[in-house]
Chain A
């Protein structure tokens, strides 16, 4: 095999200097801008998590004041949910790879794509201002009347930041929907699309359907705080539970904004590293849409003890189980894809194996919480915290990291350290389980979330959790080092280092600004790994 050469003309070399980046309309450059900015917020959110775990190593509240601790978990949640997880896979990997995957030169609206990044930055600045000005302590959920009447912290700035970032999310989703409908290369019909694209289509639907509802909720909180209106104010007859309904109408589907794109990543990686077409392609494709739709009818399971009627709680509990069906369809089909595939164990695939274990635990514990009776016991305990971290970190971040490792050679044109990438993937998996599995037990034993003190008998498990968090943190830091190192020093990757079948691997690495010299016309079936290709791969 010839040694690959780093291409002289690519999207990175097309224009230098800050201006060529800040005014770019190239979806790939915008993706890189997003990568940098969400990494900053991930780091900030991580710092708050360090504070939380440090405080919880001892039962006494000896490190921070209670209100400082409240601000820590609030800011950890706000940063991670709204400024890292929601944009993570779509705005970075989706932004970069949806156009080449469908044979397009760019997203349908390049300028709106850049605008969405600027809106995100403005929203982020509001949130940063809130931190600098003294923080916010309402929890990331902004429940009224505490957020509208009582709290004297920077609720307005934070909520406006979330509101603004929401528009960024809406515009990204809108752009993807139009792009997938209207920009596909001639001959690339829906059932030839990679499942990554299907997953992003479903995600975009949630973004455009859900985000406006949380936006109007924030507007209503804003008018209460800023103008003294009373929409959710119980003193004037308003209903705080209504705010929770509106909030969770978005924020429950928001979980699927985080996990669905990660699932799309998983489909791509699995098929590549087992050299097989995804088993039950159309089922996996439609299960993404089903998750998006079912995600909108189950929200009140977050409110079982909030004062909703028992009858509606029963209905919501029943409906919540419906989400398990498309999720299970995906997991079973992935498992069937692995079956008798020619598996390998590169770093992206290690993240996928990790995703399997963690998503399975996260998903199954979700069933405990969907069950009305058990939820009343487990509500607002560490069981819930562990559950959603298994989904949002164990699922979404594993998918995000797996995707970054999978496509990094295409994005940068160079390889990262194989050894260190495997080490860090293992560290993330081990560290994650060590951090969050004890929290299931703590929650089951009754330790409530959002307190900075706890009874001494919970200390062993909390220390385990904090120790695991440091391993997890290490697992997140190592990739930063070898990714940065690879930009200058990494081995040249070539067009298709993994032997993958997608259209994006046909172009050079890093791609041209236009992605393709000629728009591909001979569109293959998705995941076309012929036996011939498989045999060659086994020989290598």
Chain B
């Protein structure tokens, strides 16, 4: 059945280097004014870093479909939690009050 995948040393070292570079990048970018894109870029870099850790350090790239599904499932349900709650917060200002109630 499944044999355990052993990644070469160089994989771990290059992922580590990439994570360090991305950390420096996220700090550097934070000091540049990108307007509303600052948090987007910061989170984007964080997502890339997290993906590298998940795929290579946690071996998900070489894991079973079920493991991959578990990862996706957790993100999907967090997305439901965040999306549906923000749906409420984003539309709270939309209500128009009828003139008779003003």
A interface residue numbers (CB < 8 A to B): 181, 209, 213, 241-242, 245-246, 249, 296-297, 299-300, 308-312, 315-316
State the CA gap A310–B84 with chains docked (Å).
Answer: 13
Cα of A209 to Cα of B73 in the assembled complex, Å: 9
Shortest Cβ distance from A406 into chain B, in angstroms?
32
Q: With A297-B80, A309-B94 as given contacts, are A242 and B85 in contact (CB-CB < 8 Å)?
A: yes
Max chain A CB contacts within 10 Å: which of B80, B84, B87, B92? Answer: B84
For A310, what are the chain B residues with a Cβ–Cβ distance below 8 Å? Answer: 91, 94-95
What's the Cα separation between A241 and B89 when bound, in Å?
10
Helix, strand, loop or mixed for chain A's interface? helix
Q: Contacts of B73 on A, CB cut-off 8 Å?
A: 209
Contacts of B84 in A (CB 8 A): 297, 299-300, 312, 316
10 interchain residue pairs of minimum CB distance: A312-B88, A311-B91, A309-B91, A309-B92, A308-B88, A245-B85, A312-B87, A209-B77, A309-B88, A249-B81
In the complex, which residue of chain B has the Cβ closest to the Cβ of A210? B77
Interface check B32, CB cutoff 8 A: no
Q: In whole Å, how far is B79's beta carbon from the nearest beta carbon of chain A?
A: 11
- Given the complex of chains A and B, what is the CA–CA distance between A296 and B85 in angstroms? 12
Q: By the criterion CB–CB under 8 Å, are A213 and B88 in contact?
A: no
A60 shortest CB reach to chain B, Å: 38
List which B24-74 residues lie within 8 A (CB) of chain A: 66, 73-74
B95 touches A309 (CB 8 A): yes
Known: A300-B84, A312-B88. 8 other contacts (CB 8 A): A209-B74, A245-B88, A309-B92, A310-B91, A310-B94, A312-B84, A312-B87, A315-B87
Q: Cβ of B87: which chain A residues have Cβ within 8 Å of it?
A: 311-312, 315
Residues from chain A with a CB closer than 8 A to the CB of B92 are: 308-309
A312 touches B77 (CB 8 A): no
Please give, as numbers and ranges, the residues of chain B lying within 8 Å of A312 by CB-CB distance: 84, 87-88, 91
17 sampled A-B residue pairs with Cβ under 8 A: A213-B81, A246-B85, A249-B81, A249-B85, A296-B77, A299-B84, A300-B88, A308-B88, A309-B89, A309-B94, A309-B95, A310-B94, A310-B95, A312-B84, A312-B88, A312-B91, A316-B84
**B23–chain A nearest beta-carbon distance, Å:** 26
Chain B nearest Cβ from A316, distance in angstroms: 8
A316 to B87, CA, bound (A): 10
The CA of A249 and the CA of B92, in the complex, are separated in Å by 19
A311 and B94 contact, Cβ closer than 8 Å, known pairs A181-B66, A242-B85, A245-B85: yes
B92 to chain A minimum Cβ distance, whole angstroms, is 4
Residues of B contacting A245 in the complex (Cβ-Cβ under 8 angstroms): 85, 88
